[in-house]
Structure 1
Amino acid sequence: MRLLDRLWGAFPTFLIARRNITRARTRSALAVASIVIGVVAIGAIGAGGVAFKEAQMGTLGTIGSDIQVYAGPDKEPGHLTAADVDTVDRVTGTADIVPLKRGDGVLAGRDGDRTGVTLYGVDDPRELYTVDEGDIPGNWRNGALVGRTLADERGLEPGAKLTVNRSDVRDGEVVTSLETYRVAAVLEDEGRAQVARPNGAVVLPPGEFEDDIYAQVVVRTENTRQANATARDVRAAFNDREERVDIFERGQAADRIDQAFAQVNLFLVGIGAISLLVAGVSIANVMLMSAIERREEIGVLRAVGYEKFDILRVLLAEATLLGVVGSLLGAPLALAITALINGALLDDPLAFTAGAFGYVAAGVAFGVVASVVGGLYPAWKAARERPVEALRG
């Protein structure tokens, strides 16, 4: 307490301001509470929005540095061939490529229900997927990998048999066949934007498909800049006068999603900022009422030599103290609420990012500024009071 008293003594203006605030404790407490609510609104909404974006980007999968190459409208035949895959491999240089084959199938259940599934053919599934149960055979020539969703729906596990009614294009004709595979592994649940999302699909060795038909080629680069450069090189190699390939740049999709989340978050923070504007009005009301009640006191101060600027400084110090106290109380509350949101969305209450701390800091700064702005008019009005009129009451 002595240290605190010395600190107040070093700043006499704030010492006077503190004493004036404590004379109307209920009114000051309500003003502080309004600041706390505003700071919590901005900090928790902003930081919670950051956590929500991180959670959604996680469910969308790793989409920053991949590009996908498809057959374009002018491609003859209407799919990628082994020669096209070789061209993509040559053009992309050191980047890893994953050629994908694709087909359709139908699973028949024991009770007669039928479920359509997508069939993917991949040379090395480890490049795209993560195993949840079982293991991918080292010699990937037989067996099947099933997605987590499909495994849960059908009660499949490693070692189970899987019967698929397939429809494949062979030599230009649709051929149907009934094939039975043994499940080698169950794959982890993947985000919505995952390449060849496996959740409800079956992954097979590429030998189970026609040799020279590829649905797409995934090019895995190290960063978005390399992805953009690689996309330009692939277009230059294929699309001279005709659009022989289409390219989906996943980094651009990630940027658009990130921008959309940022805009929504700013809108929500703007709504939260309204509460701080209301808090500023509350501060103005408190200061105005204080100035009216202390009119005679202000007149005495002016009569004994206080200048207009001194009165202005004392009343602004009161408004600043209210804002600082409210902001300092609101910041830990905002962080606590954000920790709850982080725990719910990210499974880690302490998963704070620089952006989350930035929103809380912005709430604190806005709270202090709103208080000072709210106290400007009452302070200016009190400072302009003529000493004689103030003493008359």
Structure 2
Amino acid sequence: MSRDNQTETGRSRLLPSDICHLGISGLRSRPTRVLLSALGIAIGIAAMIAVVGITTSSRAKLDNELASLGTNLLSVQPGMSLTGQDTTLPAGSTGKVRLIPGVTSAGAVATLPDVKVYRSRLIDPDKSGGIDVQVADLHLLGLLDGTLRQGTWLNRATANYPTVALGSIAADRLGIVTPGSRVWLGSTEFTVVGILDALPLAPELDTSAFIGEAIALERFGWDGKPTTIFERSADEEVEAVRDLLPRTVNPEHPENVSVSRPSDALAAKNAADVAFTGLLVGLGFVALLVGGIGVANTMVISVLERRKEIGLSRALGATRGHIRTQFLVEALLLSTLGGLVGTALGFAVIATFAVTNGWPVSVPPTVFVGGIGVTMLIGAVAGLYPAVRASKTPPTAALNG
């Protein structure tokens, strides 16, 4: 049996400390090349971890938001008739909804399509800024868990007079920053009593100006028909109430009534974000593969440059297994270094992005463990061929090279 075969069977072994020492020494001899190769791995893994972490943090924010806003809010709107015509909700529908067993509260808005709001009477009538005038139930703000940026919501006193509360976007478009300002609705001057914060469960109302029912009847001839009814019920009653709403609102034509849950729209948006995240993770994986190719290239060049070192090691008794192990460990250390740097960089990106947007930092620990594990796997694959090639270098050829 040849000397190589005898030593390959296990008579000569390297201690783990020796293996690490050899690997570290190999990397320290080429610091610039090692840094660039590790940077390629770091960028790839940082991109993957950052994308996943930002998504999980966004989902955590959504979960917290849904927990605070509740998923027991349903909205009722007119649908389309069988002939494809627009329909309306009957007058008095809101009161009927409040009588449904399980409903704890209900409120409504009604759009006044022919009434526009302007900052002053001198504004061009064609430049209304896309702001809708809504007749608002006094329960509306509480139903939607809305909050006020400034001022107050409509109440039993102010709703009888020309007063208006503005949605967050409507106030910005009108240039209103404080209550007490005046705006024009139709040909009547109204006083702004409050400015709302954004309404997560009803973002379509952020561009609205809200007035009371009494003033809408008196000044604009409102017919009493709501455009959208919002209701809340106990969590366990949501589905039962959902089934009863169409027949309660419009007993003759329940098919003309559309019922939806606003929180589903937030969940659907998050699902779309998750799907987009998959694409970004794929791009990050491509970057990680490019980094792996950089590691392989670094190790191949290292083998070519260190032929004399390999030959000397073989002449002093190093086996092919020793050489293989040495170069494989170098590749693993190089990729692990990149993985650790990339993981730290990815977490920094997540934390910065989350804090900037007011999100909780929520990243599963398995993401970091998996990220480093992936980099080690890529390093092992990238270093396998150079390690095998190094081990097959004949001692005499290396020394003569």
TM-score range, shorter chain: 0.7 to 0.9
**Equivalence for 1:271:** 283
**Equivalence for 1:158:** 179
SS at match of 2:302: helix
SS at match of 1:203: strand
The correspondence of residues 81-160 of structure 1 with structure 2, limited to 5 A, is: 81=90, 84-91=93-100, 93-104=102-113, 105-108=115-118, 109-114=120-125, 115=128, 117-127=132-142, 128=144, 129-136=146-153, 138-140=155-157, 141-142=159-160, 143-152=163-172, 153=174, 155=176, 157-160=178-181
Cα distance in 1 for residues equivalent to 2:177 and 2:297 = 68
> Contact (CA 8 Å) 1:34, 1:279: kept in 2 or not?
yes
**Equivalence for 2:3:** none
Letter in 2 for 1:130: T
Seen in structure 2, the aligned counterparts of structure 1 residues 91 and 389 have a Cα distance that, compared at 3 Å, is farther
The correspondence of residues 247-262 of structure 1 with structure 2, limited to 5 A, is: 247-262=259-274
Pairwise CA distance, 1:94: 4.3
Cα distance in 2 for residues equivalent to 1:340 and 1:265 = 18
Pairwise CA distance, 1:230: 4.2
**Equivalence for 2:9:** none
The correspondence of residues 146-225 of structure 1 with structure 2, limited to 5 A, is: 146-152=166-172, 153=174, 155=176, 157-165=178-186, 178-191=187-200, 194=202, 197=205, 199-207=206-214, 208-209=216-217, 210=222, 212-220=224-232
Seen in structure 2, the aligned counterparts of structure 1 residues 158 and 323 have a Cα distance that, compared at 3 Å, is same
> Contact (CA 8 Å) 2:79, 2:86: kept in 1 or not?
no
> Contact (CA 8 Å) 2:138, 2:155: kept in 1 or not?
no
Give the structure-2-normalised TM-score.
Answer: 0.75
> Contact (CA 8 Å) 1:228, 1:249: kept in 2 or not?
no
SS at match of 2:112: strand
Q: Could you report, residue by residue, the CA deviation over 1:161-181 in whole angstroms, capped at 9, with x for unpaired residues?
A: 44422xxxxxxxxxxxx5444
**Equivalence for 2:298:** 286
Between stretches 128-137 and 86-95, larger displacement belongs to: 86-95
> Contact (CA 8 Å) 1:97, 1:217: kept in 2 or not?
yes
Seen in structure 2, the aligned counterparts of structure 1 residues 200 and 100 have a Cα distance that, compared at 3 Å, is closer
Are 2:27 and 1:21 aligned? yes
Seen in structure 2, the aligned counterparts of structure 1 residues 228 and 272 have a Cα distance that, compared at 3 Å, is farther
SS at match of 1:243: helix
Letter in 1 for 2:298: V
Pairwise CA distance, 1:321: 0.7
Letter in 2 for 1:159: G
> Contact (CA 8 Å) 1:64, 1:254: kept in 2 or not?
no
The correspondence of residues 2-17 of structure 1 with structure 2, limited to 5 A, is: 11-17=17-23
Letter in 2 for 1:43: I
Cα distance in 1 for residues equivalent to 2:99 and 2:366 = 45
> Contact (CA 8 Å) 2:117, 2:133: kept in 1 or not?
no
Cα distance in 2 for residues equivalent to 1:221 and 1:16 = 69
Seen in structure 2, the aligned counterparts of structure 1 residues 126 and 10 have a Cα distance that, compared at 3 Å, is same
Cα distance in 2 for residues equivalent to 1:149 and 1:65 = 26
SS at match of 1:354: coil
SS at match of 2:180: coil
Q: Could you report, residue by residue, the CA deviation over 1:214-259 in whole angstroms, capped at 9, with x for unpaired residues?
A: 2121133576x86556434535766898613112233433333212
Pairwise CA distance, 1:361: 5.3
Alignment match of 2:242 (pick from 219, 227, 231): 231
Pairwise CA distance, 1:374: 0.8
> Contact (CA 8 Å) 2:117, 2:132: kept in 1 or not?
yes
Letter in 2 for 1:312: R
Are 2:45 and 1:39 aligned? yes
Letter in 2 for 1:33: L
Seen in structure 2, the aligned counterparts of structure 1 residues 252 and 148 have a Cα distance that, compared at 3 Å, is closer
Alignment match of 2:380 (pick from 372, 377, 380): 372
Seen in structure 2, the aligned counterparts of structure 1 residues 242 and 306 have a Cα distance that, compared at 3 Å, is same
Cα distance in 2 for residues equivalent to 1:120 and 1:239 = 24
Letter in 1 for 2:261: E
SS at match of 1:119: strand
Q: Could you report, residue by residue, the CA deviation over 1:120-162 in whole angstroms, capped at 9, with x for unpaired residues?
A: 3213243133222222365354233223444442547433444
Letter in 1 for 2:328: L
Give the structure-1-normalised TM-score.
Answer: 0.76
Letter in 1 for 2:373: A
Seen in structure 2, the aligned counterparts of structure 1 residues 196 and 89 have a Cα distance that, compared at 3 Å, is farther
> Contact (CA 8 Å) 1:39, 1:334: kept in 2 or not?
yes
Overall identity of the aligned pairs, in %: 22
> Contact (CA 8 Å) 2:97, 2:245: kept in 1 or not?
yes
Unaligned runs of at least 5 residues, structure 2: 1-13
SS at match of 2:210: strand
Seen in structure 2, the aligned counterparts of structure 1 residues 315 and 222 have a Cα distance that, compared at 3 Å, is farther
Between stretches 294-303 and 255-264, larger displacement belongs to: 294-303
